[in-house]
């Protein structure tokens, strides 16, 4: 009955074949061998590690430095430290100077403006009282005339301020343009001088080549073929790498470079004239603004009295 019940309870189990049993046995034996190791001692035997390609190889230790080499290293380190120390001392001196300047300015501020905040509040209140008192004695038309005169004058001052700002910008722009134009003259002059000196250089090169050829021939006659080869190769190199222009080509290039030089000189002159003019315009704009600012109250009062 038990056997029958067991058979019925495993009705869904697939029948075991001889081949299946043999495969299962092989798997179990393989697993046991892996767990027990080759000696069968029940302990896992780790697989031998194989060196990997590209693995870092131990580097040989650097040869120890001699006492003289160590001394040189220490001396260099000391020089670097001393240089850094000098820089730090200079920085400290500049910082201390800046701190002293700030302290001096603060001291001057305290001496010039004692109780500045309280005084400002008191003066603001007093001026407001005076303004309201004077306003009470004037009619609306007069007040409007005075305010209009102030607005008109301050508007003109604002325009002069803008003019002075624009003039200063023009000075900066023209000064840079003049500097750039002046820097273009020396290279252009060098190009002209080099072109004028070209015939002498070419003649010297040809003379050098002639001498090299003679030296090569003499060395060949004396059986010194290595020297002969060297002299000849030098001569060939000079001749083949040096361009000798035709007379009309030389003249055309010299004319072109001379024209560029004259253009650069002309541009430099014009740029300097423009920069000088900008400086003069700035001076006038600054003077006009200063005069407008200094005459403000007198001019506004005069305008009010005319009304």
Average pLDDT over every residue of 134-141: 92
Residue 298 main-chain phi, psi, to 5 deg? -65, -40
Q: DSSP for 20-56, please give it.
A: HHHHHHHHHHHHHHHHHTTTTSSS--PPPPPPPTTPP
State the chain's mean pLDDT as an integer.
Answer: 84
Q: Is residue 288 exposed (0-12), middle (13-18) or buried (19+ Cβ within 10 Å)?
A: middle
Instruction: State pTM to two decimals.
Output: 0.56
Helix (H) or strand (E) holding 156, with range, is helix 140-221
What pLDDT is recorded for position 65? Answer: 83
**Contact by Cβ (8 Å): 268, 182:** yes
| % of the chain at pLDDT higher than 90 | 73
Helix (H) or strand (E) holding 182, with range, is helix 140-221
| Chain segment 150-170, per-residue pLDDT in tens | 999 999 999 999 999 999 999
| Chain segment 257-278, per-residue pLDDT in tens | 999 999 999 999 999 999 999 9
Place 60 in a pLDDT band, splitting at 50, 70 and 90.
low
Q: Examine the pLDDT at 12 and tell me if it is beyond 60.
A: no
Report which of residues 202 and 64 the model is more confident about: 202
- What tokens does 80 get? 């670097």
Place 52 in a pLDDT band, splitting at 50, 70 and 90.
low
Place 30 in a pLDDT band, splitting at 50, 70 and 90.
very low
CA torsion angle for 167, 172, 174, 180 (degrees, to 10)?
180
Q: Examine the pLDDT at 171 and tell me if it is beyond 90.
A: yes
| Backbone Cα Rg of the chain | 50
Average pLDDT over every residue of 292-302: 95
φ/ψ region of 43 (left if φ > 0, alpha if ψ in -120 to 50, else beta) reads beta
Average pLDDT over every residue of 39-47: 44
Query: 293: closest CA among 150, 164, 154, 147?
Result: 154
| % of the chain at pLDDT higher than 70 | 79
What pLDDT is recorded for position 35? Answer: 42
**Contact by Cβ (8 Å): 271, 174:** yes
**Contact by Cβ (8 Å): 171, 265:** no
Sign of the Cα torsion 177, 178, 180, 185 reads: positive
Helix axes 296-306, 247-294, angle to 10 degrees: 60
């Amino acid at each position: 009955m038990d056997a029958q019940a067991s058979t019925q309870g495993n009705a869904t189990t697939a029948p075991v074949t001889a081949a299946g049993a043999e495969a299962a046995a092989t798997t179990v034996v393989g697993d046991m061998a892996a767990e027990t190791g080759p000696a069968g001692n029940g302990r896992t035997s780790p697989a031998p590690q194989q060196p990997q390609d590209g693995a870092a190889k131990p580097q040989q230790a650097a040869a120890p430095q001699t006492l003289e080499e160590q001394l040189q290293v220490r001396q260099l380190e000391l020089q670097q430290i001393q240089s850094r120390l000098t820089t730090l001392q200079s920085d400290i001196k500049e910082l201390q100077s800046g701190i002293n300047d700030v302290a001096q300015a603060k001291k001057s501020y305290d001496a010039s403006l004692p109780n500045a905040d309280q005084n400002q509040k008191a003066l603001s209140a007093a001026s407001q009282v005076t303004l309201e008192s004077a306003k009470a004695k004037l009619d609306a038309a007069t007040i409007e005339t005075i305010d209009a005169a102030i607005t008109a004058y301050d508007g003109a001052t604002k325009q002069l301020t803008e003019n002075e700002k624009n003039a200063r910008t023009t000075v900066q722009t023209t000064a840079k343009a003049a500097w750039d134009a002046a820097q273009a003259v020396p290279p252009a002059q060098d190009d002209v001088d080099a072109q004028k000196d070209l015939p002498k250089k070419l003649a010297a090169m040809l003379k050098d080549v002639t001498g090299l050829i003679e030296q090569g021939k003499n060395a060949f006659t004396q059986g010194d073929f290595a020297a002969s080869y060297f002299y000849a190769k030098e001569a060939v190199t000079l001749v083949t790498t040096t361009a000798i222009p035709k007379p009309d080509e030389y003249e055309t290039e010299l004319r072109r470079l001379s024209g560029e030089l004259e253009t650069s000189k002309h541009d430099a002159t014009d740029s300097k004239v423009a920069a000088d003019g900008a400086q003069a315009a700035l001076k006038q704009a600054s003077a006009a603004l200063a005069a407008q600012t200094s005459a403000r109250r007198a001019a506004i009062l005069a305008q009010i009295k005319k009304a």
